[in-house]
Structure 1
Amino acid sequence: MKYTYLIINILTVIFPVILSFDKRVQFCKSWKYLWPGMAITGFVFLFWDVLFTKQGVWSFNDQYITGFKLFDLPVEEILFFLTVPFACVFIYCCLNYYIKWRLSNKASKLISYFILILSGVLLLLFHNRLYTVVTFGLLLFFMLVLVGVTKSKWLNQFYIAYVVSLVPFYLVNGFLTSIPVVLYNDHQNTGLRIGTIPFEDHFYSMTLLLMNIAFFEYFKNRKKLSE
């Protein structure tokens, strides 16, 4: 069905949009901090997406997309960089409101160092695989900035939100890769999959969320400082 990818996008975002007006979390009041970061991050990832599509890292099954394209990308793929970050930042904010428990600084640092080491090792082992190199190269760069330069304290909450976000991640990416809507060229990745989902997708998602939440926290804190 040509509306499959579009429907997946709508289902991804519909409940977070509706629940944004909940009187307790009131996520709708934080939208103004979300849009700038989504625009910046979306630009980076769409550039990456166009490049990967042209290089044959992945492609899209015409049976499950409407056929409308921009820069050779299905419009549904462009919407993906709006719907998924919106839903995940919503999860992040809800967890911050309802769950007061946080990872300790020590635990957060250990996770961060593990990600840094893993990224470095995979870059060395799979230096000739474009999807692997770009995914872990960007992740390594952003983690170095967040851990070594800005020393972002919100990583304690981020790692919890990321684990929770894996539930919708497996649902959405599971559908996209099992139908399949998105087809991957395994010559450009490690070839490892969890179910039908490429291993790299987990860290592609992590980088996407890191960027969006980093900008969200930046714009929110800048507003507080100006008051």
Structure 2
Amino acid sequence: MDNKYLSLLIDFVLLAIVVVASLHPKFPFYKHWKKAGAGLLATVIFFILWVELFAHLGIWSFDERFTIGVHVGWIPLEEVLFLVIVIYTGMFVYFALNQISEKDRLFPHQEVISSVLIIVLLIAGLYYKEKVYTGAAFLLLAIFLTFQMLKLRPRYMGRFYSTFALLFIPLLIVDGFRTGAFVNGEIVHYNDEQNLNLRLGTIPLENICFVFLLMVMPVTIWEWLEDYFYYRSR
């Protein structure tokens, strides 16, 4: 198979799997597509703008050998699909965990976990702010979690942390493919002058924060909409 179709094929296969799974009667995520879709759309737009900016500044670049040449601005179609897949998968798994068990084992610890993350990310983000990707990934996630804790006071973050832990290894595999772990070349290239140049295999450390924010933002929007319309209807 021509390399330029490989990434697109994997995107479509992954998307098909998670969409079909979300139609299962035991996990009827499709019934929540309206509110969840609002969270997905808002998050996709935000991250497309982020990646557009980084691509324009030369912080990220894409190997055209692995793309079909269709772009959204500076971003290949394959990267946009990757964003959609990660968001949709995260939301579906989060929903499925809620369906499987009502007990949230991390609920008693969610504020401690979030507080530690905020402190560590703020310190590291400010210290390395001259590295654009590092500063942006660390500080944006820290700011988002701070807003969430102080303003929204979520009761679902324990469940989200469980979701992220469950998906961590699959996400590493998918991101490893994008960063050259399984193919001869990097589909996405990162300018190491703008990150810490610390990698999990081939994956920049900052990608963990990027994907975490990519997953937590739509869940937060979705849960806020659920609460808003619930209390509005009472």
Structure 2-normalised TM-score?
A: 0.92
| Counterpart residue number, 2:229 | 223
| Counterpart residue number, 1:135 | 137
Structure 2 SS opposite 1:103: coil
| Counterpart residue number, 1:66 | 68
Is the 8 Å Cα contact of residues 61 and 190 (structure 2) preserved in structure 1? yes
Q: Which amino acid aligns with 2:177?
A: F
Equivalent runs, 1:91-106 vs 2, <5 Å: 91-106=93-108
Distance 1:206 1:189, change over 3 A: same
Is the 8 Å Cα contact of residues 107 and 156 (structure 2) preserved in structure 1? no
Q: Which amino acid aligns with 2:206?
A: E
Q: Which runs of 5+ in 2 are unaligned?
A: none
Equivalent runs, 1:1-227 vs 2, <5 Å: 1-178=3-180, 179=183, 180-227=186-233
Q: How far apart are residue 167 of structure 1 and its match?
A: 2.5
Name which structure has the greater RCO, CA cutoff 8 Å, separation 6+.
1
Is the 8 Å Cα contact of residues 92 and 158 (structure 1) preserved in structure 2? yes
Distance 1:94 1:106 in 2: 21
List per-residue Cα deviations over 1:76-111 (Å, max 9, x = no partner): 112222221011111111111113331344411121
Distance 1:135 1:11, change over 3 A: same
Distance 1:79 1:173 in 2: 13
Is the 8 Å Cα contact of residues 50 and 73 (structure 1) preserved in structure 2? yes
List per-residue Cα deviations over 1:175-227 (Å, max 9, x = no partner): 10123211111111111101111101111011111111011112222333344
Q: Which amino acid aligns with 1:218?
A: W
What number of residue pairs does the alignment pair up? 227
Q: Which amino acid aligns with 1:71?
A: G
Distance 2:76 2:190 in 1: 16
Distance 1:6 1:35 in 2: 22
Greater displacement, 25-34 / 99-108: 99-108
Is the 8 Å Cα contact of residues 22 and 30 (structure 2) preserved in structure 1? yes
List per-residue Cα deviations over 1:36-60 (Å, max 9, x = no partner): 1111111111111011001111111
Distance 2:16 2:170 in 1: 13
Distance 2:74 2:197 in 1: 25
Distance 1:202 1:79 in 2: 18
Distance 1:44 1:164 in 2: 25
Q: How far apart are residue 7 of structure 1 and its match?
A: 1.8
Give me the identity figure in percent.
28
Is the 8 Å Cα contact of residues 12 and 87 (structure 1) preserved in structure 2? no
Structure 1 SS opposite 2:103: coil
RMSD: 1.4
Q: How far apart are residue 19 of structure 1 and its match?
A: 1.3
Q: Which runs of 5+ in 1 are unaligned?
A: none
